[in-house]
Amino acid sequence: MRIAVTGASGFLGRLLAGALLKRKVFAGEPVTRLVLVDRVAWPDPRSTADPLVEVVQGDVVDRLTEVFAEPVDVVFHLAAAVSAECEADFDLGMRVNLDTTRAVLQAARAQSVAGGPVARVVFASSLAVYGTRPTPGPAPVISETTLPTPQSSYGTQKLMCEHLIADMTRRGFVDGRIARLMTVAVRPGRPNAAASGFVSAVIREPLAGRPAVCPVDPGLQVALSSPRRTVQGILRIAEAELGTGPGRLDGAMPVNLPALTVSVAEMLATLRELAGDPIADLVTLAPDPAVEAVVGSWPALFDNRRAAGLGLRPDPSFVSVVRDYLTDHADAVSDAVSDAVSDAVRGQ
């Protein structure tokens, strides 16, 4: 089975590629080739040293002929411009999110029309396809049957891609799978341009002994998924059998990955409880209306039943999310924090 991953040098792309290489099996079939596609070089060359790996570096659109030079069975399409980038540069978002997705789908379609395999195209969409304007009363609980009304260019572009994938699946050109991702936290490494980047930063930076800024009202609720649960969800949706009923995927119908709902205030309280006052005090509040406008338009309460039908569950608590980060990225945590955080929370 030949599998391609676009956006493979990004954080989730690296995690997904690592998971596939570790298991070396997809949907019961051996992985014979893993094609990693990205315009950005891989941070650690050792991650691409596996003999199953083929690296294709360059703009995805420009390299699709190379990617599809041999039959592609599965494409994980993760390459994207993130939310704040799309608000700042409309043309960038349209080119990277919509045009690139269309090019990937057209390449997969050409393969099937020519008599090759119908590629399984797994698309990383986003909760940003929904948009909630402030209304009186309790916040709505969102499900896949909720009408998407995006309030950002990023969300709009993701939704357009979803519709295109659904139609090409209906026509039999591809086998489309759509995973709507929650805000992924805690992400390691350097901050990115996502409007939701602060969700990771207010935890990651203080744990490394660095200051961080919270640009939103601490009362804001967000829908989270840890990196581990996010990759698990993407793979489960990709491998699910088609059909109706528990454990099956109803064609290209989107699946919202299961969400843990937590307020920013609760996140900061968890940081204070686990790491102590000096670490928590590294976070300062500095409201940014542009960030609040984007992130505040995203819903926070989700009905997780469709994901649960596939065996997926949300993270049990924000403590568990932090525990995962501490376990997976111990080298990114300052010595002072390592001494402060309890052994129980670190899972030792």
Active site residues: 154
CA distance 162 to 147: 13
Cβ atoms within 10 Å, residue 191: 13
CA distance 217 to 215: 7
Cβ atoms within 10 Å, residue 276: 15
**For the stretch 286-314, what's the b/e string if a residue is b when 16 or more beta carbons lie within 10 angstroms of its beta carbon?**
eeeeebeebbbbbbbebbbebbebbebeb
CB of 166 within 8 A of CB of 106?
no
CA distance 222 to 313: 17
Retrieve residue 186's tokens: 């805690």
CA distance 210 to 198: 13
